[in-house]
Amino acid sequence: MNWDIIEGKWTQLKGSVKENWGDLTDNDLTEVAGKRDKLAGKLQERYGWAKDKAEQEVDNYFKDKV
């Protein structure tokens, strides 16, 4: 997956990301700004997941989005 494309489409993707991970706030999503590592970090914070689990969740979610 190409994270440059995700970053470019972040404004459009934020709504579906929030639907999938409802514990993320609007401020979290603005702060993430389409960056994979920041999104994984926020998921770790909000859900208490290990780094590997958070990264896997992000990759699985976005593999069909772009």
pLDDT score of 66: 66
Number of domains in the chain: 1
The residue with tokens 């989005």 is 65
> Three-class SS of residue 32?
helix
**Per-residue pLDDT for 48 more than 90?**
yes
The C-alpha angle with vertex 56 and arms to 54 and 61, in degrees rounded to 5, equals: 100
**pLDDT band, residue 2 (cuts 50/70/90):** confident
Domain that holds residue 32: 3-62
**Per-residue pLDDT for 65 more than 80?**
no
pLDDT in tens, 14-47: 999 999 999 999 999 999 999 999 999 999 999 9
CATH number of 54's domain: 1.10.1470.10
Judge contact between 4 and 32, C-beta under 8 A. no
